[in-house]
């Protein structure tokens, strides 16, 4: 069974990462969500990644804030694609998480998306685009979604077209 694994460093990340899950559900993509911290529960994180990969995880999405080492730890444990979602918070409002997630050493890639909710949604879309390379039905759904988004144009009160 192929699925997308969503790992959060803290249960407080759920309200943001729920948007990722909802996006995957909208397209009928199987997923599972767990909380496992790279720092507070490293053994659990290691065990989970190995088991998820054996069960059929094709893409991992890792959401974490502040030091945000979760995506890098996951990437060190698998050769499956890993997408990092930096969480907003802390003194730097998520910039520290963004930099920790995006600045991986050569040979240890982590695809990194925007901080917070937009990143959560984009992580789902990126995961689906990866899956769609081997799934024509999903590829067609994504193309249709893109066409529908492009049609969402209105004219504002000054006669200027606005893309919604």
One-character DSSP codes across 50-86: HHHHHHTEEEEEEEEETT--HHHHHHHH-SS-EEEEE
Q: Is 13 annotated as a binding residue?
A: yes
Q: Is 44 annotated as a binding residue?
A: no
Q: Is 156 annotated as a binding residue?
A: no
In angstroms, the CA 31 to CA 23 distance is 11
Residue with tokens 């990143």: 119
Tokens standing for residue 40: 């507070």
| Helices then strands, each counted (H, E), the chain | 6, 7
Identify any residues that bridge with 3 across adjacent strands, giving them in sequence order: 57
In angstroms, the CA 32 to CA 5 distance is 5
Question: Which residues sit in the known binding site?
Answer: 10, 13, 40
Question: Which residues sit in the known binding site for substrate?
Answer: 10, 13, 40
């Amino acid at each position: 069974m192929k699925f997308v694994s969503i790992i959060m460093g803290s249960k407080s990340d759920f309200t943001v990462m729920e948007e990722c899950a909802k996006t995957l559900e909208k397209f009928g993509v199987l997923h599972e969500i767990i909380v496992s911290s790279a720092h507070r529960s490293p053994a659990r994180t290691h065990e989970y990644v190995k088991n998820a990969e054996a069960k059929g995880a094709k893409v991992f999405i890792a959401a974490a804030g502040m030091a945000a080492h979760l995506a890098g730890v996951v990437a060190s444990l698998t050769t499956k694609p890993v997408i990092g979602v930096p969480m907003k918070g802390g003194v730097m409002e998520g910039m520290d998480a963004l930099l920790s997630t995006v600045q991986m050493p050569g040979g240890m890639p982590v695809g990194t998306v925007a901080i917070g909710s937009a990143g959560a949604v984009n992580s789902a879309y990126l995961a689906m685009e990866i899956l769609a390379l081997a799934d024509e039905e999903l590829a067609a759904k994504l193309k249709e979604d893109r066409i529908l988004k492009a049609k969402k144009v209105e004219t504002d009160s000054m006669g200027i077209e606005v893309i919604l």
